[in-house]
Each structure stands twice: as structure tokens, then as C-alpha cells.
Amino acid sequence: MGHRQILAGERKRVELRLGDVESDGSFSGYASLFGRVDLGRDIVERGAFARSLAKRGASGIRMLFQHDPAAPIGSWSEVREDARGLFVRGRLALDSAKARDIHALMRGGALDGLSIGFRTVRARKETKSGVRRILEADLWEISVVTFPMLPEARVDSVKSRRRSKTPQTQEFAPDRLMASIRRATRMLNDRSTKGNT
């Protein structure tokens, strides 16, 4: 997990591991893990999001793609702290073409990251180790992103509204996965080209 200052806040990325992604785009997992030193030498402490969550609730935290405020892709129905970290449950808005594209990329394994957007309210730096402990963070968005940074954080489940009686598991062939990665790369290059014109 890394971080950098961005406008009014910071970002931290964690890894999503997706199994079957079915029809309605629902998924759950962890957007942050407590007590883990990330690549930016930060540790998010348990309770860091409590005040922010009490103030905003799940409906006040945006689901974005690549931290782009112009690219909302769904909504969070549950965002809460537990002993492990910041647990989230949400659903992509599949009426949107962008969300449908992201859904396809998630199903193909080409998108597997979550990243939180927040502002540090209180932190303590340990002089000897150089580690910064984030004691309170004002959380305002959680994004689906391309590049994961913390392998220990995982999505627990991806569900559909209509569950079939028989579990449907599917192994991804390497050529299908590579095709998905190429599609994601083209999509990002197209966005970058448009942004520079």
C-alpha cells in the first residue's frame, strides 16, 4: 500500500481478489487493513475511520473509478470497521456503460484493486522507525483501481441478486486473462490521450 498527497487528501491502495462476478456486480471485501506497515511507512490504526463513518455513513462515501470524481461507478451499501480493517460492500451501477466495462474487466481479472481517498486528521510519527500511525482519517471515497499495493486485503465475495442452485465456478484461461489485461491497458491509454488534448 502506498500513499501520496493529492489535492486535499491521500490515497491508499489494497488488493481485490475476485472469484465469480455475476450479474448484478455486487462485491464485498476490505478497503484497508489495520496494523500493517505499507510501502509509504504508514500504519492505519483501528478506529481511524470511526468518526468519519458516523458522520457520513456508507451512502456519503463515493465509489469511483481510478479516483476520478467525474467517474462514479456504483454505491457502497456498507462501510464499517471490524477487527481486521475497513470492510466494504457495494454494487456497480450496471445501467452505466462505464460500470459495465469495469464489471467485465473485474470478471476477467484485469481490475483487482481498491484504493481509499481520505484526509489525515490525526497521526503520530515514530522517530526511531519513521513509521507514521494514522489515528484518524476523514474518508470520502473508495475507488476501484488497476494497480494493487497490499496483497493481504481481499474481496470476500462477489454476488448476484439471483443465485443459481448450483455454484458456478470458472477457471480463467491464460489467454482470456491476457486479453482482459490488454483491454484494460487500451482503456487507460485512451483516457490518458483524451486527458492530454
Q: Band the pLDDT of 7: cuts 50, 70, 90.
A: very low
Q: What is the average pLDDT across 102-126?
A: 87
pLDDT, tens digit, 9 for 90 and up, residues 184-196: 656 655 655 555 5
Q: Which of 32, 52, 115, 143 is catalytic?
A: 115
Q: What is the average per-residue pLDDT within 109-121? A: 85
- Using the predicted structure, report yes or no on whether residue 82 has a pLDDT greater than 50: yes
Active-site pick, 67, 103, 143, 180: 67
Q: Are 12 and 31 in contact (CB under 8 A)?
A: no
**Active-site residue (options: 10, 15, 22, 141):** 141
Q: Which helix (H) or strand (E) holds 78?
A: strand 68-81
What residues contact residue 156 under an 8 Å CB cut-off, 6+ apart? Answer: 28, 29, 30
Task: Mark whether 3 is an active-site residue.
Answer: no
67 is catalytic: yes
Active-site residue, 115 included: yes
The pair phi, psi for residue 108, each rounded to 5°, is -85, -5
Among residues 58, 12, 8, the alpha carbon closest in space to that of 153 is found at 12
List pLDDT tens digits, range 162-182. 333 333 333 334 454 455 555
Element of type H or E holding 132? strand 132-145
Indicate yes or no: pTM above 0.75. Answer: no
